[in-house]
Chains A and B, each alone.
Chain A
Amino acid sequence: MKKERSRLVVIGNGMAGARLVEELLARGGGDRFTVTVFGDEPYGNYNRILLSSVLAGSHEPGDIFINPLAWYEANCVALRAGVRVAAVDPVRKVVTAADGTAEPYDKLVIATGSAPFIPRIAGLEDAAGRSREGIFAFRTLDDCSAITAYAARCRSAAVIGGGLLGLEAARGLLERGLTVHVVHLMGHLMELQLDARGGAILRQKLEGMGLQVHLGKSTREVVGEDGKGGVTGLRFEDGGTLECDMVVVAAGIRPNVALAREAGLLVERGIVVEDDLSCPGYPDVHAIGECAQHRGRVYGLVAPLWEQAEVLANRLSGREPRASYTGSKVSTKLKVMGVELAVMGIRERLEAGDEEITYEDPSRGVYKKLVVRDGRLAGAVLLGDASAAPVLLQSFDRGQDIGPDPAELLFPSSGASAPRSVLDLPDDAQICNCNGVSKGRIAYSARNGCRSLQAVCGATRAGTGCGGCRRDVQAILQDVLGEGGLIEDPAVHYYVPGVPLAKPDLVREIRRLGLRSVSSVFAALAGGREDAASKPGLASLLKTIWAGEYEDERDARFINDRVHANIQKDGTFSVVPRIYGGVTTPGELRRIADVAERHQARMIKITGGQRIDLLGIPKARLPQVWRELGMPSGHAYTKAFRTCKTCVGSDFCRYGVGDSTALGIAIERRFQGIESPHKMKLATAGCPRNCSEATTKDLGAVAIEGGRWELYVGGAAGSRVRKGDLLCVVEAHEEVLRLMGRFMQYYRENGKYLERTYDFVERIGIEKVRAVVVQDEEGIAARLDAAMEAAVDAYADPWGEANDPVHPLQFAQVLVRPRASGQGDGRDGREAPEEQVVAGEVR
């Protein structure tokens, strides 16, 4: 039976409106409704909470979008971005937009949020009656952009309002280098969340960070220069003044209810809704979010509106037609200028029997307080250390009896040092520290159709930076989806996403069909579909399989490997010449200095790998820089053997028992440029004091008494820290070199692309690795040694391409075309080709 779809209109494309649409679609609501969303802001839907981070400069505006315009398109949601609704007629069931268009509805959802409250202050307008320049609210992305643009030319700012929003604005401005004053009407900061003592401790902490706090100050006037638009300061009711170049008003919010009021809906502080989230008398009109008032309460945080969106989506989609919303228990965990804060319930004793327990450590900015009523938690404040929040929240939410010694609750079991599971973290905890993705966002995408790790990472960008959080993401997924809910994307077993074969099958097919180039692999094994992201992985594999017979296609390489240097944020490159074992000479240093000076390297830096990095070199200059350095490539840009760090060792150090320096140099000379699934970083240490950190390297050798060397593999001290596994103990330098080479070859053949040794060794198991590499149980040691020998012999310094480029324009930066002459070569007015293209090296 095919039914006509009903028309759902949503007013407001903010946190609540967009969330409702997402929740509805996730419940199959797309089959019931055609959805039209009006949003006053000319964008897709973004995370308003993260505006604080945008202001502070830790996020770019582009980073905070939840659903881009394409999402609406893909889900057949008609988004009227930048179109304001001017009127609602709940009797004729039609809304009218500011552009005059009318949109009839069967169901209407009002999610207009709130607007900043601007108190009555003189001087908000300049002499000419225009809004004075330099005064801002802080609610929208546009507000945020305006503030940042203006702040760039200011030295000081005043924020009116010392609540959450005001402090967030202050933090952003502090981060931007301004002197920041917070002017607050009340006697202590954040009076909605904190009691006076908590407010005082917060103030002390924030002042320590450089914020100027002015309490009990009522602003009478914004002062500007006569005839000019801008701001010069504030004048207070008590006659005092304050100099500042700009003002941000964060004095509270007011629900956007004008539309509803004019439509004749019941409006008090917010738009009144029943437990079914509909407006009294109008069962087809709903309101959610900050504009709604439910059982007398208007919420100003996102958690309650998530719950509202879920209930309403359940009702509208027919999934749970009788779902009802009974209000939210407000418990919040916030970060105020980087200071943790969790609050729940009441913040002070209100009744005779109420008991308060407090703990404070003002020097650390820590303040904790419990309010207990009838043996249960009635409220809590945790400032500066919210580690007890998960436990308290649970107790608070469930109304549990808190036992004889409530104070214990303030300090989560300090004895047990068991690492805290991600599952204990609150929803707003940041899981992906590269892309700023919260636990809630991950769980949310899992609940809304992303059922594999790949899908979640694709949808949220979590785990797509350094990858260190992927285990946590996986754990959250597992938790949300439950047993059997998590599906494994078949692509996890593929060697690269674009060719549907696991590594062993891929290698077999490549050998069988004699595929020697990346393009031939796509043609033969991927239906002719090229996948850009799969190219470097295939190139690396083919090179390992075919060695000298590999057909090198340069476009399959990442830019670093096309120009043999590491690309940087501004498109220039870094040059790290090889300095074997970190041991250099005055002549070499002089040469490096000369080159750096001549080519104006933007920075010269001693790296963490014991060599020297020349940063900020334009691509076109690379060949010349290499020629002048006359040193081999340090391969600081590629998936290959990188460096071998050494310590001064037995020649100089009073503790040295092995010549780690000579060993390191020998290692580096032998393995330079050996490509591998991921980079390999090595170190040698002259004694177990381990000054070169050899136990946390991909491969490390540590000298021990008796002229022997311990060999470690699978160590890491990057995004993960892992102590390497002891592979074996050997006698001489030659032995170290041989076993290291054999391990490397084993890893080269069996490691997945971009799998570091710390994951590889863990996946294979150190016993198995030892059995193959040391005990030769599979009888392949000789073959591995020979393959490594061949790879070592085949090595050529890529910087040789300075004199022998693979393409005349390999290092070209910009090919300059002269101005249009207007003169063609006679054929249909076309311009003649230029004879000569200026390219390559800059002089």
Chain B
Amino acid sequence: MPELTRSETPLRNLGPVDQIPPGEGRVFAIDGRNVAVFRSRDGRLFATEDTCPHRQGPLADGLLGGSVLVCPLHGFKFDLATGRPAGNDCRALTTYPVALSSRGDIELRLDPR
């Protein structure tokens, strides 16, 4: 993942990927900031802010299909790969570069993309 090596902010190791069941998300508190990390069934990782711009729904509790997340509160959709809303007028989600390390750990940088 090129983005992961370019930046100045330290790379954060969040531990083994199997903390997140396939197709779900979990919230990690990193330096006092909450980040939602998702693991899609096809093996991709995504990281975004943890609450929905619509009315602060807990995004990690949403339903994930491919890279599309459905917020659990009112069903607004977002593409986690870009953060962009899909079919609604919300602002985009902040996303963070994240990848799987060779040891199977989640690695993330806190600088927003």
Tell whether A832 is near chain B: CB-to-CB under 8 Å.
Answer: yes
- CB of B65 within 8 A of CB of A534, answer yes
Q: Are B68 and A532 in contact (CB under 8 A)?
A: yes
Q: Residues of B contacting A351 with CB < 8 Å?
A: none
- B11 an interface residue at 8 Å Cβ cutoff? yes
* Residues from chain A with Cβ under 8 Å of B23 in the complex: 519, 553-556
Alpha-carbon gap, A570 to B55, bound state (A): 9
Contact count A vs B, C-beta below 8 Å: 131
Residues in A whose Cβ lies below 8 Å from that of B42: 530
Q: Per a CB cutoff under 8 Å, which of A458, A554, A571 touches B87?
A: A458
In-complex Cβ contact of B26 among A498, A529, A558, A815 (8 A): A815
| Contact indicator A571/B28 (Cβ below 8 Å) | no
Contacts of A833 in B (CB 8 A): 13-16, 103, 105
A837 to B41, CA, bound (A): 23
- Nearest-CB distance from A289 to chain B (Å)? 22
Contact of B27 among A531, A555, A814, A822 (CB under 8 A): A814
Does the CB pair B13–A532 fall under 8 Å? no
User: How far apart are the CA atoms of A831 and B10 in the complex, in Å?
Assistant: 8
Map CB proximity to A onto B71-82 as digits: 1 under 8 Å, 0 otherwise.
011010100000
Within the complex, the shortest CB–CB distance from B85 to chain A, in Å, comes to 7
A529 contacts B66, C-beta separation under 8 Å: yes
Residues of chain B with a CB closer than 8 A to A387's CB = none
A44 touches B14 (CB 8 A): no
Chain B contact residue count (CB 8 A cutoff): 52
In Å, the complex CA distance between A555 and B24 comes to: 6
Minimum C-beta distance from B49 to chain A (A): 13
Name B29's contact: one of A817, A820, A829 (CB within 8 Å): A817
Please name the residue on chain B nearest to A459 by beta carbon: B87
- CB <8 Å contact, A60 and B21: no
Contact partner of A831 (CB less than 8 A), chosen from B12, B28, B64, is: B12
Query: Within the complex, what minimum Cβ distance (angstroms) separates A270 from chain B?
Result: 31
**B63 x A837 contact (CB < 8 A):** no
Nearest chain A residue, comparing its CB with the CB of B12: A831
Q: Does A62 contact B (CB under 8 A)?
A: yes
B73 touches A569 (CB 8 A): yes
* A494: Cβ under 8 A from any B Cβ: no
Q: A563-605: which have CB < 8 Å to B?
A: 567, 569-571
For the complex, give the distance between the alpha carbons of A837 and B62 in Å. 22
The answer to the question of A834 belonging to the interface, with a C-beta cut-off of 8 Å to chain B, is yes
Alpha-carbon separation in the docked complex, A211 to B1 (Å): 62
A70 at the interface (CB under 8 A from B): yes
| Residues of A close to B14: CB separation below 8 A | 815, 817, 833
Q: Report the stretch among A94-102, A138-146, A644-652, A805-813 that lies at the interface.
A: A805-813
B28 vs chain A, min Cβ distance (A): 5
CB–CB A567/B72 < 8 A:
yes
Question: In the complex, what's the smallest C-beta–C-beta distance from B100 to chain A, in angstroms?
Answer: 12
CB under 8 Å from chain B, chain A span 304-353: none
Residue contact A815 to B27, C-beta cutoff 8 Å: yes
In the complex, whether B113 has a CB less than 8 A from a CB of chain A is no
- Complex Cα distance, B75 from A534, in Å, reads 12
Query: Which of A458, A464, A814, A831 is the one whose CB lies under 8 Å from B11?
Result: A831
Q: Are A535 and B63 in contact (CB under 8 A)?
A: yes
Of A464, A559, A813, A834, the most chain B CB neighbours within 10 A belong to A559
Give the chain B neighbours of A68 by CB distance below 8 A: 85, 88-89
**In the bound complex, what is the Cα–Cα distance between A820 and B9 (angstroms)?**
11
CA distance A44 to B90 in the complex (A): 11
CB distance from A22 to the nearest CB of B (A): 15
Interface residues of chain A, those whose CB is within 8 Å of chain B, are 44, 60, 62, 65, 68, 70, 458, 464, 498, 519, 529-536, 553-556, 558-559, 562, 567, 569-571, 619, 807, 809, 812-817, 819-820, 822, 829-834, 837, 839
6 contacts between A and B (CB under 8 A): A530-B66, A533-B77, A555-B23, A570-B56, A571-B61, A807-B21
| Supplied contacts A532-B65, A820-B12, A822-B10, 11 more A-B pairs, CB within 8 Å | A62-B53, A68-B85, A531-B65, A569-B55, A571-B56, A571-B57, A571-B61, A815-B19, A817-B29, A831-B13, A837-B15
